[in-house]
């Protein structure tokens, strides 16, 4: 009887250990997240921490309530960025096929945290640049799109069709 009880205790402890390990793996894959009751990454109680941008967080119509980032109208983007959006909608072809439509890892952690592979990166051609330049559009699997003109130093959420 003692052996059977010991085996049940062992299996119970093993099951708990497997659940804890699975939880840790899932949390690690999702990336860091803010503790309960604290501001989301890139946001504070006074608004998003975006250089040169003032805002009041989710109540500010100029700020995306999901990401905490400022909105930018599609029509306000430079022409090459609007052309890149059109290529994304059409599925390509893209000017840098070895680099475009590849996973964006969000290493800077300025976009909302998601699992690896959620974000894709697209080059926005910079006329006169000898390389890909610093301008990118990042897309999320749920359809959201972000603009950076400073190689991931900051982002703005694109408000499409405006």
End-to-end CA distance of the chain: 73
Q: Which token pair is 107?
A: 């290493």
Domain count, the chain: 2
Q: Give me the domain span that covers residue 134.
A: 53-162
Q: Helix, strand, coil: what percent of the chain each, to 5?
A: 30, 20, 50
Query: Does 12 share its domain with 60?
Result: no
Query: Does 64 share its domain with 20?
Result: no
Instruction: Say which CATH number the domain at 77 has.
Output: 3.10.450.30
151 is known as an active-site residue: yes
24 occurs within a structural domain:
yes
Of the candidates 114, 144, 151, 160, the residue annotated as catalytic is 151
Element holding 73 (H helix, E strand): strand 71-73
Q: What is the pTM of this model?
A: 0.63
Q: Determine the Cα–Cα distance for residues 10 and 18; give it in Å rounded to an integer.
A: 12
114 is known as an active-site residue: no
The better pLDDT of the pair 87, 47 is held by 87
Neighbours of 142 (CB within 10 A): 9
What number is the average pLDDT over the span 29-55?
Answer: 36
35 occurs within a structural domain:
no
Of the candidates 74, 108, 121, 160, the residue annotated as catalytic is 121
Query: Does 65 share its domain with 98?
Result: yes
In this model, does residue 91 exceed pLDDT 70?
yes
Cis-peptide, bond into residue 93, ω within 30° of zero: yes
Residue 46's pLDDT is what?
A: 32
Q: Determine the Cα–Cα distance for residues 93 and 82; give it in Å rounded to an integer.
A: 15
Query: Does 21 share its domain with 64?
Result: no
Rg (CA), the chain: 21
25 occurs within a structural domain:
yes
Give 123-145 pLDDT, tens digit per residue.
999 988 889 999 999 999 999 99
103 occurs within a structural domain:
yes
Q: How confident is the model at residue 115 (pLDDT cuts 50, 70, 90)?
A: very high
41 occurs within a structural domain:
no
Q: 49: left (phi > 0), else alpha (psi -120 to 50), else beta? A: beta
40 occurs within a structural domain:
no
- CB within 8 A of 84, min separation 6: which ones? 122, 123, 124, 125, 137
Percent of the chain surpassing pLDDT 90: 59
Query: Does 60 share its domain with 123?
Result: yes
């Amino acid at each position: 009887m003692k052996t059977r009880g010991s085996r049940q205790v062992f299996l119970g402890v093993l099951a708990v250990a497997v659940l804890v390990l699975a939880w840790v793996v899932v949390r690690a894959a999702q990336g860091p997240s803010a503790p309960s009751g604290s501001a989301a990454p890139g946001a504070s109680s006074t608004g998003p921490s975006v250089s040169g941008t003032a805002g009041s967080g989710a109540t500010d119509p100029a700020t995306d309530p999901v990401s905490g980032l400022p909105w930018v109208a599609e029509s306000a983007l430079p022409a090459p960025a609007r052309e890149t959006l059109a290529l994304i909608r059409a599925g390509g072809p893209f000017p840098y096929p070895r680099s475009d439509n590849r996973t964006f890892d969000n290493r800077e952690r300025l976009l909302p945290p998601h699992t690896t592979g959620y974000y894709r990166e697209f080059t926005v051609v910079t006329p006169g640049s000898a390389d890909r330049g610093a301008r990118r559009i990042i897309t999320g699997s749920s359809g959201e799109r972000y603009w950076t003109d400073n190689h991931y130093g900051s982002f703005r959420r694109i408000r499409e069709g405006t």
